[in-house]
C-alpha cells in the first residue's frame, strides 16, 4: 500500500496520487485537516482518502495510514510525500528490495546524487543523519527522507512513536534501531520544484530536541531494566 500523508497539497496531490494508482498500487491519502481541495483531488485520482477533521501533524497522519494498512492485511506500507518531491516510478525500487531480502524498513537516500538539493538542506541532512546514525547504531545517509517502506513487522514500532509532527520520522528511526530491526537504503531522485517546506525551523527543532531527550530517557530505562534482569 502507498501512503501519502498530506496537508494543503491540492495543487500536487492529484498528480502524485494518480501516478501511484497508475503504477497499480492501492494508494491511501491521509488528508490532515487541509480544508482545501486536497481530499477531493485525491479522490478524483482514484485514491482512498482518510481525513482528519483538524490538522494533527505528519506523525499522526502516518499513524492513521499504518493503522489502516494493519487492519487491511498489507505486508508493507510505502510512505511518500504529496508535494511531488518523490517519484511514483521509483516505488518499484523499494518493492524489489523488499521482495529480495525482506527487511523491516527501507529508507530512500537522495545523498548519492544531491546536487539539486539546496545547500542548507544538504548540510542539515548530513548533520542530522550523522547524529541519528550515532543514536541508532546503524549508518543511514539520509535520515530526513520521507520516502520509505515500513514492513509489517515494524508496524507496531511505528505506531508507538509519540511525536505528532515532522520529528515523528526521526523518532521512528530511533525506535527501529532500539529494537534492532533490519534496515537498509535505496537510492531515490532529488526532486525540488516550487513547493514550500512546511517545516518551521524553530518550532520543529524544539520538538526534535524534546523527542530526542525522551528517547534517550526511554533507552536508559530500558537498559537499566535489562541490567537488573541479568543481575537477578
* CA neighbor of 6 nearest in space, from 55, 43, 48: 55
* Euclidean distance between CA atoms 46 and 137, whole angstroms: 41
Domains defined along the chain, listed by start: 2-231 (3.90.550.10)
Of the two residues 168 and 12, the one the predictor is more confident about is 12
pLDDT digits (tens, 9 = 90+) for 28-42: 999 999 999 999 999
Q: Hey, which residues does 27 pair with through a beta bridge?
A: 2
Pairing of strands 105-109, 148-151: antiparallel
Which pLDDT score, from 0 to 100, does residue 9 have?
A: 96
Check whether 19 has a pLDDT greater than 90.
yes
Which pLDDT score, from 0 to 100, does residue 196 have?
A: 58
Q: Is 109 helix (H, G, I), strand (E, B) or coil?
A: strand
Q: Is 129 helix (H, G, I), strand (E, B) or coil?
A: helix
User: pTM value?
Assistant: 0.84
pLDDT digits (tens, 9 = 90+) for 91-142: 999 999 999 999 999 999 987 776 667 667 777 778 888 888 888 888 889 8
CB atoms near residue 154 (< 10 Å): 23
Q: Hey, which residues does 4 pair with through a beta bridge?
A: 29
Check whether 197 has a pLDDT greater than 70.
no
* Euclidean distance between CA atoms 6 and 42, whole angstroms: 10
| Confidence at 203, pLDDT banded by 50, 70, 90 | low
| Confidence at 62, pLDDT banded by 50, 70, 90 | very high
Mean pLDDT of the chain: 88
Amino acid at each position: 500500500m502507498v501512503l501519502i500523508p498530506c496537508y494543503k497539497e491540492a495543487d500536487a496531490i492529484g498528480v502524485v496520487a494518480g501516478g501511484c494508482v497508475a503504477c497499480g498500487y492501492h494508494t491511501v491519502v491521509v488528508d490532515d485537516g487541509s480544508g482545501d481541495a486536497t481530499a477531493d483531488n485525491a479522490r478524483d485520482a482514484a485514491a482512498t482518502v482518510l481525513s482528519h477533521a483538524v490538522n494533527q501533524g505528519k506523525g499522526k497522519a502516518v499513524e492513521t495510514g499504518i493503522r489502516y494498512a494493519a487492519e487491511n492485511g498489507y505486508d508493507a506500507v510505502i510512505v511518500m510525500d504529496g508535494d511531488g518531491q518523490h517519484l511514483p516510478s521509483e516505488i518499484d525500487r523499494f518493492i524489489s528490495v523488499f521482495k529480495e531480502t525482506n527487511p523491516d524498513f527501507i529508507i530512500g537516500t537522495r545523498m548519492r546524487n544531491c546536487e539539486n538539493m539546496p545547500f542548507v538542506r544538504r548540510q542539515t541532512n548530513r548533520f542530522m543523519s550523522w547524529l541519528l546514525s550515532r543514536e541508532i547504531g546503524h549508518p543511514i545517509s539520509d535520515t530526513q527522507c520521507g520516502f520509505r517502506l515500513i514492513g509489517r513487522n515494524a508496524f507496531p514500532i511505528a505506531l508507538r512513536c509519540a511525536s505528532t509532527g515532522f520529528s515523528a520520522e526521526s523518532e521512528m528511526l530511533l525506535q527501529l534501531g532500539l529494537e534492532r530491526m533490519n534496515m537498509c537504503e535505496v537510492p531515490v531522485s532529488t526532486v525540488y520544484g516550487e513547493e514550500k517546506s512546511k517545516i518551521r525551523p524553530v518550532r520543529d527543532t524544539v520538538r526534535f530536541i524534546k523527542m530526542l531527550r525522551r528517547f534517550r530517557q526511554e533507552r536508559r530505562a530500558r537498559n537499566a531494566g535489562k541490567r537488573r534482569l541479568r543481575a537477578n
